Amino acid sequence: MSMLMRKILKKTKINKLILNNKVSYKLIASTINQCDTSYSLEYSRNVLEHLSPKPSGSSYSNNEIKQVVYDLQIIIPAYNVEQYIDDCLTTVLNQETDYSYLVVVINDGSTDRTKEILEKYEGNRVKVINQSNKGFSGARNTGLQEINSRYLMFVDSDDRLEKNAIQLLLKAAYKNDSDVVEGGYYRFKNKHTIISKTYHANEDDIKALGNLRGFPWGKVFKSSLFENIKFPEGYWYEDVIFSYLVFPRCKKSSTISDIVYWYRRNSSGISFTSYKSNKCADAYWIIEQMLEDMKKLNIKKTQDIYDNTLKQIYLCFARTQLMPEEIKKSLFTLLANMIHSEFTDFKTKKKEYKVLEIALRNNDYISFFMFCTFY
């Protein structure tokens, strides 16, 4: 089923009618072949490796936190953004704030005028690093290699900061001694056409996992959270490090109601283009790698991490739904085994994940397919 059709079904709520009507459910389910018993773990893994081999990158690292000089270090990866980088840096450098900050821009092998534009900004508050192309993760990791600030912020080079973002986020961070503080954001397109607005209530102390959004921007982090963590290079969907490796280690998290970030809608980004690429297999590989890295970092599995894994499994299906049946059934075999082997004693209390959980634990591909397609 195409992404457009799924969106139409959800918007019109026809998807719920299909799931709740026994006749329509059985009719559609009868067209799906149950997962072949010959789909062993070895066979399934070979199918996925043939589609797109598992990258070798890990999130375990030894970043050096030097003597604290700044309140904030802002890391901006930049690749072929000649049309956006001026706007981005203007909003970053024109902040209305009492706090000190350093901007580290990593020119990730740009082939357009990005490098030339960045040269005019290099100075007291801006450090430019030029490197061969390593992708988003590799660029951010370069910025993490030398940290000399109490807090960190990530900004994408085609996005913008609200004029008082640093002041508002750091004020809350210092007030509450927060490990992470997140604010609201605009989604926009073209120059400054706002598509939507997303914001929080003011909360001084909340649980990070389940309440904060799983992407790097729009927040500040204590630098110490990244002392042993980096972005996994070679993977798509690398932002899941936050829900598996960063948020579980946060002792205190806060939110503010103010808008602090402008996120540009990019129709050529991975979110829009990944469905037809073999690299969508990373939707599985990245979960597997996160569970491995959790062990290296001595992060214990919790109910929240289990529920988040069920959510990631749902997203894994969404990201691979246009792949052939052999791929989807192989993924299901691997995902079901992951739940059996990694989360043996866990059981979700979230109503929205109950059907998914039962399907995985019963190795029921049809129920899994129906839930992920129509939920």
Q: Are residues 340 and 258 in the same domain?
A: no
255 and 342 assigned to the same domain = no
Contact 104, 76 (CB under 8 A): yes
342 and 214 in one domain? Answer: no
Phi, psi values for residue 219, rounded to 5°:
-155, 170
Residues 187 and 289 in one domain: no
127: region left, alpha or beta (phi > 0 left; psi from -120 to 50 alpha):
beta
101, 215: one domain:
yes
Q: What is the rounded distance in angstroms from the CA atom of residue 119 to the CA atom of residue 144?
A: 21
Q: What is the amino acid identity at position 219?
A: K
Which one-letter DSSP state was computed for residue 162? -
**Average pLDDT, integer, range 304-324:** 94
Q: For position 35, what pLDDT does the model report?
A: 53
Q: Which of 59-68, 192-201, 224-233 has the lowest mean pLDDT?
A: 59-68
Tokens describing residue 185: 């954001």
For 80, left (φ over 0), alpha (ψ -120 to 50), or beta? left
Q: Are both 27 and 172 inside the same structural domain?
A: no
pTM above 0.85, yes or no: yes
What does the pLDDT look like over 219-265, one tens digit per residue? 999 999 999 999 999 999 999 999 999 999 999 999 999 999 999 98
- Domains: count for the chain: 2
Higher pLDDT, 339 or 4: 339
Same-domain check for residues 99 and 144: yes
The upper half-sphere exposure of residue 319, i.e. CA atoms within 13 Å in the direction of its Cβ, equals 22
End residue of a domain, out of 248, 266, 284: 266
% of the chain beyond a pLDDT of 70: 87
| Helix (H) / strand (E) containing 290 | helix 282-296
Average pLDDT across the chain, whole number: 89
pLDDT in tens, 115-152: 999 999 998 899 999 999 999 999 999 999 989 999 99
- Helix or strand or coil: residue 129? strand
For the chain, where are the alpha helices, taking DSSP H only? 3-11, 14-20, 22-29, 41-51, 85-93, 114-119, 135-144, 165-176, 241, 270-273, 282-296, 303-320, 325-342, 354-361, 365-374
* 103 contacts 76 by C-beta, under 8 angstroms: yes
pLDDT of residue 104: 98
Verify that 322 and 209 share a domain, yes or no.
no
CA atoms within 13 A on the CB side of 189: 6
Amino acid identity of residue 189, one-letter, is: K
The more confidently predicted of residues 11 and 357 is 357
Short-list 252, 74, 254, 246, CA closest to 151: 74
188, 223: one domain = yes
Structure tokens at 228: 């042993």
pLDDT of residue 38: 59
Question: Could you list the residue range(s) of the whole structural domain that residue 125 is in?
Answer: 64-266
Sequence-ordered list of residues with C-beta below 8 angstroms from that of 268, at least 6 positions apart, any chain: none
Q: Tell which of 266, 287, 317 closes a domain.
A: 266
Residue 7 banded pLDDT, cuts 50, 70, 90? low
pLDDT tens per residue across span 277-307: 899 999 999 999 999 999 999 999 999 999 9
Q: How far apart are CA 231 and CA 221, in angstroms?
A: 15
How far is Cα 335 from Cα 23, in angstroms, rounded to an integer? Answer: 28
Of the candidates 199, 231, 266, which is a domain's last residue? Answer: 266
Give the Cα separation of 293 and 58 in Å (integer): 7
**Residue 275 pLDDT:** 57
Is the pLDDT confidence value at 269 over 70?
no
Q: Please, what's the b/e burial string for 267-294 (b: 16 or more CB within 10 A of its CB; e: otherwise)?
A: eeebeeebbeeebbbbbbbbbebbbebb
- Coil, helix or strand at residue 69: strand
The pLDDT of residue 20 is 56
**Measured distance CA(130)–CA(125) in Å, rounded:** 17
Q: Are residues 90 and 39 in the same domain?
A: no
Q: Is the domain of 105 the same as that of 172?
A: yes
Q: What is the CATH number of the domain that holds 106?
A: 3.90.550.10
Same domain, 212 and 326: no
What was the pLDDT predicted at 219?
A: 98
